[in-house]
Amino acid sequence: MLICKDVLSKAECQQMLRDVRNVAWKDGFTHLDKSHKNNAEHVHKEHAEYVIAKVRQHPEIFQKAFLKHMTFPRFNKYETGQKYSRHVDYFLQEGIRTDWSMTLFLTEPDEYEGGELLFDNERVKLPAGSMVLYESSKVHSVSPVTSGERIAVIAWAQSYIEDAQDRAILGKLAEVLAKPIGTASSTPEEIEERKEEMVNLSFVYNNLLRKWSNF
């Protein structure tokens, strides 16, 4: 799982909410009945294209998710009493394999009760503008909203790295590579040694990417 802050600014979230709150929402697509999934969805072309650009520009997503293809994002809304019971996302969306499922929160956590994204051992409810990416193979649900309104943007993505464990390994390597080479107290010799270590680590990271990438 990858939690990324500030994919959108608070002002961008507010603008999107103003634009979609009063549109004609449709029932969320499902082959199951409303006792299993009960929400509303809406497609806003301009905002969806903007979200794609912001996701692809986000440094942490770039370094750890290795996005290859991404579906067209859509808004979803849960009002009081609505939920999505335990399920696994379909393996294919818009013709691409779903490695990552993505939820970008637009409403602030104090604007609604309930509505957490639930996994077996985790509960996710993020500030507006933050996004969670999780393996599409995971069983998950959205808990019932007990008051207020939860609006988010959802999408799916295919990764260049098909195996989730391989992605996790590369993500940890990316974290180390992103650390500063030295501190204010580092000697020139220590900095040169650290630089050489980073070159060696970069060798491992980039060649694992070449080995594991699915083009």
User: What phi and psi, each to the nearest 5 degrees, are found at residue 55?
Assistant: -65, -45
Q: What is the distance of C-alpha 189 from the center of its chain?
A: 40
pLDDT for position 22? 86
- As a whole number of angstroms, the distance between CA 56 and CA 173 comes to 20
- As a whole number of angstroms, the distance between CA 76 and CA 28 comes to 8
pLDDT at 89 over 80: yes
The pLDDT of 53-57, averaged and rounded, is: 96
pLDDT at 30 over 80: no
The pLDDT of 36-64, averaged and rounded, is: 94
pLDDT for position 188? 87
pLDDT at 38 over 80: yes
The pLDDT of 11-37, averaged and rounded, is: 88
pLDDT in tens, 137-166: 999 999 999 999 999 999 999 999 999 999
Burial 33-47 (b: 16+ CB within 10 A, else e): eeeebbbbebebeeb
- As a whole number of angstroms, the distance between CA 70 and CA 52 comes to 8
DSSP letters, 97-140, are E-SEEEEEE-S-GGGEEE--EE-SS-EE---TT-EEEEETTS-E
| Region of residue 130 (left: phi > 0; alpha: psi -120 to 50; beta: else) | beta
| Tokens read off for 135 | 């393996």
**Residue 14 · residue 151 · CB < 8 Å:** no
Residues contacting 45, CB < 8 A, separation 6+: none
What pTM was computed for the model?
Answer: 0.90
Least confident of 2-6, 59-63, 84-88, 141-145: 59-63
pLDDT at 35 over 90: no
Percent of the chain with pLDDT over 70: 98
pLDDT in tens, 184-208: 888 888 889 999 999 999 999 999 9
What's the mean pLDDT when you consider all of the chain? 94
Residues contacting 97, CB < 8 A, separation 6+: 91, 158, 162
pLDDT for position 32? 67
